[in-house]
Structure formats: C-alpha cells, structure tokens
C-alpha cells in the first residue's frame, strides 16, 4: 500500500501543478477581460470601416506583390543553392572553399543589409542595371540570402541518399553528372521538401524588408502597404489586415510542412 501511494504521488503532484497553472492562467484572462477597454481595442486594431477601406485600396495587390517577390526569390535561390550544394560536395577544394565562404557570409548578414547593399550597387558601379527592377532587385536579394540557407538543406538531402544509389547508377554506365541529375537529386528533393517549405515561409517574411530599396506605391508589398495605410489613417487596423494576409499564406504552408514531416 505504501509503495502504491509513493508511485502515485509524482502523478498527483503533476496534476496539482497543472491545475494551479490553469487557475493562474484563468485568473489572468479574467483580469484582462475586466480591465481592457474593448471598445478602444476594437477601434484601434479592428476598425471595420478602415479594414474595408484597406481591402478596397489595394490589400490584394500588395498580397500579389508579396507572393511575386517571394516566388521569384525562392526559385532563384533554389537554383543557386543547388549549384552551391554541389560545389560544397565537390572533390575540388577551391569549389568547396568558394561555396563555404558564400554560405557563411550570407548566413551571417541580416537580410535588410543585403537589400540596402543591392539598392546602393548602382552608385558603386556606374551604369549597372539589375533587370526587371524593382522585382529583379528583390529576387536577387531574397535569392542570395535564401540560397545560403537552402544550400545546406540540399547538401544534407543529397548526403541522405544512400551511397548504393550512386554506385548502382555508375555500374549501369551513367556518368557522375547523369547519376546526380537523374538518380540522386530527384530522391534528395523529396527528402528536402519539408525544410525547403520552411525556407519559403522565411522568405515570405523577409520580403517585408523590400521597403529598403525604395518602391513606388503601386509596387508595395503587404508590410509597406499596411504601414502606409496605418500612417494615413492614424490607426493600426491596416497593419492588422496585412498581418492576417501573411497568415493566409503561411498557415497553409505550415500545415503542409507538418503533414509531410508526419509521414
């Protein structure tokens, strides 16, 4: 009887601790509900006329720009990351050094610094024009940052493919490049889909830094558009709407990642 009581004690203590935590959280929630000025909160953060005005004045266009900036940066970064990953795995030391320096350099820089540096490049190199600006500038900036992170993901994915796959492909007479392109990379990319989707979500949020390159009103993405509207209206509601628009994109992607990781 004594041993049963002793065995049950830790579980009961954990139950009591959880109960105390629930009571404390409930007390905080009740105190907040009583003390907060809900009318003021609704006016400042969820003002329906301003929310409606935010939608009609270009929230959808800003959302489209965010998606366009992100997809372009992701595609460019994925191509560059694949090359960098192959360089990191190369038997040629110089390739490994160059790829390693690139990855470490851009992983260590804030994305905002990359945006500002790219916007100032024409001052340093007279006559330099980045094609399709400002889209091209955003794609290059996001691609440079994203490729540094995705290169490590791709390298790990390639290394996760059993070496026997390469040996089997070579025994069938395939060259190293053909084996990599037709056998290894297709398998590696299936492994990499969840982490690459996470990188895509990170790039969506990084696209909010595009204001650093200076855009016209018609080129605003969600954050810049929301901030401009919030300043004009002296109200936070446009930024809340921009945040909700981000969630419309990122929440389904996060759910997709969890489903893929669970398989």
Task: Give the CA angle between residues 64, 144, 142 to the nearest 5°.
Answer: 15
State the Cα–Cα distance between residues 252 and 249, nearest whole angstrom: 6
* Among 67, 42, 2, 24, residue whose Cα is nearest residue 240: 42
Task: Answer yes or no: are the C-beta atoms of 79 and 150 closer than 8 Å.
Answer: no
> What's the pLDDT score for residue 6?
52
State the Cα–Cα distance between residues 106 and 102, nearest whole angstrom: 6
At 88-136, the pLDDT tens digits run 999 899 999 999 999 999 999 998 999 888 888 877 777 777 788 788 8
What's the N-to-C CA distance of the chain in angstroms? 45
State the pTM of this model: 0.82
Residues shown for the chain: 263
Of residues 231 and 124, more confidently modeled: 231
Q: Does domain 46-262 have CATH number 3.90.1150.200?
A: no
Task: Give the CA angle between residues 70, 76, 114 to the nearest 5°.
Answer: 70
User: Could you please report the per-residue DSSP string of 35-48?
Assistant: HS-HHHHHHHH--H
SS3 of residue 196 by DSSP: helix
- Percent of the chain at pLDDT > 70 equals 97
> What's the pLDDT score for residue 7?
55
At 45-76, the pLDDT tens digits run 999 999 999 999 989 999 999 999 999 999 99
> What's the pLDDT score for residue 258?
79
Residue 5 has pLDDT above 70, yes or no: no
Domain boundaries, the chain: 46-262
- How confident is residue 178, by pLDDT bands cut at 50, 70 and 90? confident
Mean pLDDT over each residue of the chain, to the nearest integer: 87
Of residues 165 and 1, more confidently modeled: 165
> What's the pLDDT score for residue 122?
75
State the Cα–Cα distance between residues 90 and 148, nearest whole angstrom: 17
Average pLDDT estimate for 77-84 = 94
């Amino acid at each position: 009887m004594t041993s049963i009581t002793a065995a049950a004690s830790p579980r009961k203590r954990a139950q009591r601790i959880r109960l105390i935590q629930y009571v404390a959280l409930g007390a905080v929630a009740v105190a907040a509900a009583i003390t907060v000025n809900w009318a003021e909160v609704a006016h400042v953060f969820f003002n329906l006329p301003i929310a409606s005005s935010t939608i009609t004045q270009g929230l959808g266009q800003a959302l489209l720009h965010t998606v366009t900036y992100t997809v372009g940066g992701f595609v460019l970064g994925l191509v560059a990351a694949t090359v960098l990953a192959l360089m990191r795995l190369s038997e040629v030391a110089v390739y490994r050094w160059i790829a390693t320096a690139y990855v470490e350099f851009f992983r260590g820089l804030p994305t905002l610094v990359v945006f500002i540096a790219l916007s100032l490049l024409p001052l340093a190199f007279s006559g330099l024009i980045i094609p399709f600006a400002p889209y091209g500038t955003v794609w290059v900036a996001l691609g440079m940052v994203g490729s540094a992170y995705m290169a490590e993901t791709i390298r790990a994915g390639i290394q996760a493919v059993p070496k026997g796959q390469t040996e089997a492909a070579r025994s069938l007479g395939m060259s190293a490049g053909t084996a990599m392109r037709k056998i290894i990379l297709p398998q590696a990319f299936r492994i990499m889909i969840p982490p690459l989707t996470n990188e895509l979500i990170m790039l969506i949020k990084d696209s909010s830094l595009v204001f650093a390159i200076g855009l016209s009103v018609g080129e605003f993405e969600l954050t810049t558009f929301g901030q401009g509207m919030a300043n004009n209206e002296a109200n936070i509601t446009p930024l809340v709407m921009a945040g909700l628009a981000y969630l419309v994109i990122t929440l389904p992607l996060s759910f997709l990642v969890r489903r893929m990781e669970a398989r």
